[in-house]
Structure 1
């Protein structure tokens, strides 16, 4: 159409091919032979859709922007730059002053802008990147500290409960046979007797500890070849096991 902008009938014929949906229906509902030239077509469409025209923003729109509580400097800077880019002939000094007013007062970056005002928005954005990195670093450390605290809490509770259980819960005497039975169950089952195993491999066994039971209380009918003493049989010897 740009190549044939002086061909009025051709412009009127080609224009409807770019329409879809409601705009196409609007064109079809026009009375027959109501469009005599391309200028009339343009006037008709402008009158129909002038309400959809995007209004140009003025510098006043920047004064309505405010940094929200909890909003990061990165998000606020992006939002402010997006709004400023839609303003035609936005003076740098005005943009910088409105940025100062929009910021949360008392922050490190706001104090820096008050002390050393930048000459243009490019300098302001470059300086803002430094404070954005500092802000992200502080947030990362705070998140890491929170994770470490959460991970350590269950361990501390577990260790405290275990120590309290050890200190305040005495082991009853009746549990001794159960402990001994559990200990015996942990031994690997053998395919032969301990007595025969000791006789075949006696040189490999270390010398056992002496029996603690007094000699008067021992059963002299039972002899242990490993201890070379009376009191229990070789098959019942705990040292062999």
Structure 2
């Protein structure tokens, strides 16, 4: 019952109590009073927000939790000041760039963007650590594999059909014309060090590949075409572009006597 009445800083304090540190209500009351007798003289000025910095070796997740707890002691700070204080305190250049891509209107929105970015980094790291395929093992019976045939099969499997609709404009032009209809893309999985700095994607607002090369943009365009939202950009095949049907039952030439 007691913990359900706590909000704000008091709730954060309660959730961080060590396990099995409270044996009775008296222990809880004593710990609560000791904590808040110390807290009464630690109300911070709004300017103190800009002194909250990410420490050496501190992970982004730990800093975010510490920032949430410390700004509870700050009185009179507007939402925009809390957001700028967080961006001022972190040391991750890629995350800073991502947070500056759009206007953040609340702390909750900023925490969501940060969490989404960190999840993308974890996914990219896991992908890079996937095990390599097992080395070739000679089959039983001593028969040597047909490397030439295997190479042909690989070439055949690598050829993928064009799975996207034919367009009357480039993906970059469509994105520029219909920008408000697109959803935010997932973060790039390629590590920043391996991206091409000379190529810029307007859809991701980041370097690494050109807008016309962006597979995420191309997928969204195709999805919207199928749902009828961008049907005006479908390229219709002319009669001259369609393959001519061959006459299967061609009459044989007359045989001269």
Tell me which interval the TM-score lies in, with the shorter structure as reference length.
Answer: 0.3 to 0.5
TM-score (norm 1): 0.35
Structure number with the bigger relative contact order (C-alpha 8 A, sep ≥ 6) is 2
Q: Which protein is bigger by CA-based radius of gyration?
A: 1
Higher helix fraction (1 or 2): 1
